[in-house]
Amino acid sequence: MALRLLTRIVPATMIRSARRCSGYVLAVAAAMLLAVLAASLASAQQEHLLTLRDITSIEGVRENQLVGYGIVTGLRGTGDSQQTFFTVQTLANTLQRMGVQITPAVVTVKNVAAVFVTASLPPFARPGMDLDVTVSSVGDAKSLSGGVLLLTALRAADGKVYAVAQGSLILGGYTEGNAKNGKTINHPTTGRISNGATVERDSSIDLTKLPKLSFLLLNPDFTTAHNVETSINKEFGKPVARAVDSRRVEINVADSGDTSMPNLISRVQSLKINVEEPAQVVVNERTGTIVMGGDVRLQPVSVIHGSLTIDVETTPIISQPAPFSNGTTTSTAQTKLNVTDAPAQAIQLKAGASVEELIKGLHAIGATSHDIIAILQAIKAAGGLDANLEVI
């Protein structure tokens, strides 16, 4: 109705011109919208934003490893044998501290096992805090099932006792039967005790006495360290952070103006950092495992792959003398050599091809994982792999 009324008032030529103009405006607007979306998508693909707490650690705030030696008792005849003499000696020393005098040479027990006890002391651990411990057999015990760890002191690298452990073991496996007819599931000689250790010494650091707060990058990179420095200084509005090297970024606590160290750490760790991930390919020659990043690219290369197989088969031949000939029996070997040379197959890749495309092509010609690892090393040596190749 409105359109009919408009045609009566406005000439038709003006209406057609307006329609053409509006269509042009819509087309321009759509093109601009697509350009903005493409630019934002490209920017999102280039930027890899992570929080600072995910890519750094704080210098001095770390775990400490604890270890101790003790014995597990109450085993069902699956403890150490008499050949493990230090187990009996440990038992004799333990009983001696309790007022019981025995001669280790005459003691025969099968329900005791010598063990090592390990634990991780978390940062800011206080006396009375409980820890989980791992107990592993030292001797030739068959199983620690049903055992109880006696009081064991846990020491750090400085030789001081930081915790004591004791309790019943929980195993993730078992063993039944004997050596000829038995069954073993998982590892019955290793167990855990949940909250089995108690911290006895304070090992926490006083954050209020730190003049500088140092953040250490888990993966050292100068670009990432510079981005961390820039983000922190932008957050505080003044230069309080300084990148020392590719791993360390220091913050002057006094210049930050924050009197609470926990608040300062929380504020800094919440920042978003643009992380530059390096192009890297990691291979494991023992298992044939290949792990690669998504941005690994290749230069123009041509790969020729063939296989040469040589089989040597030796068959012994026994020569018997004739009866009553006074001869001797002799043995000779007949050797058969088989050589199989498969025809070489070639793969050509253009510039910018990914390692995934290369591996798919190598699988198509029948290359194994170990062949692919050797080919990747050869491509890297030829300068055709634009990434760091790490062999573990």
Strand partners, 171: 191
Percent share of the chain, pLDDT over 90: 34
Higher local confidence (pLDDT), 133 or 20: 133
- Those residues whose C-beta lies under 8 Å from the C-beta of residue 259, and which sit 6 or more positions away, are none
The CA–CA distances, whole Å, from 8 to 5, 89, 222 equal 5, 114, 72
Q: How far is C-alpha 292 from the chain's CA centre?
A: 14
Amino acid 294: pLDDT: 62
CB 55, CB 218: distance < 8 Å: yes
CB 65, CB 157: distance < 8 Å: yes
**200 class by beta-carbon count within 10 Å (0-12 exposed, 13-18 middle, 19+ buried):** middle
154-212 pLDDT per residue, tens = 999 999 999 999 999 998 766 666 555 666 677 789 999 999 999 999 988 888 888 88
Rounded Cα distance between 145 and 113, Å, is 11
Task: For the chain, count helices (H), then strands (E).
Answer: 9, 25
The yes-or-no verdict on residue 93 having pLDDT over 80 is yes
**173 class by beta-carbon count within 10 Å (0-12 exposed, 13-18 middle, 19+ buried):** middle
28-63 pLDDT per residue, tens = 455 555 555 444 444 444 457 889 999 999 998 889
Amino acid 250: pLDDT: 94
Rounded Cα distance between 118 and 68, Å, is 6
Higher local confidence (pLDDT), 73 or 361: 73
The yes-or-no verdict on residue 291 having pLDDT over 70 is yes
Going along the chain from its start, the domains and CATH numbers come out as 64-174+185-199 (no CATH), 207-274 (3.30.70), 281-317+331-391 (no CATH)
Least confident of 195-204, 225-234, 236-245, 279-288: 279-288
In residues, how long is the chain? 392
109-159 pLDDT per residue, tens = 889 999 999 999 999 999 999 999 999 999 999 889 889 999 999 999 999
The yes-or-no verdict on residue 329 having pLDDT over 90 is no
Mean pLDDT of the chain: 80
Amino acid 18: pLDDT: 43
Amino acid 30: pLDDT: 54
The yes-or-no verdict on residue 11 having pLDDT over 70 is no
The CA–CA distances, whole Å, from 183 to 3, 78, 145, 180 equal 89, 14, 14, 10
**332 class by beta-carbon count within 10 Å (0-12 exposed, 13-18 middle, 19+ buried):** exposed
CB 172, CB 189: distance < 8 Å: no
pTM: 0.66
Rounded Cα distance between 280 and 296, Å, is 7
Please state the rounded mean pLDDT for residues 231-260.
91
Relative to beta strand 190-199, strand 170-171 is antiparallel
CB 216, CB 57: distance < 8 Å: yes
Amino acid 306: pLDDT: 65
Amino acid 22: pLDDT: 52
Amino acid 40: pLDDT: 47
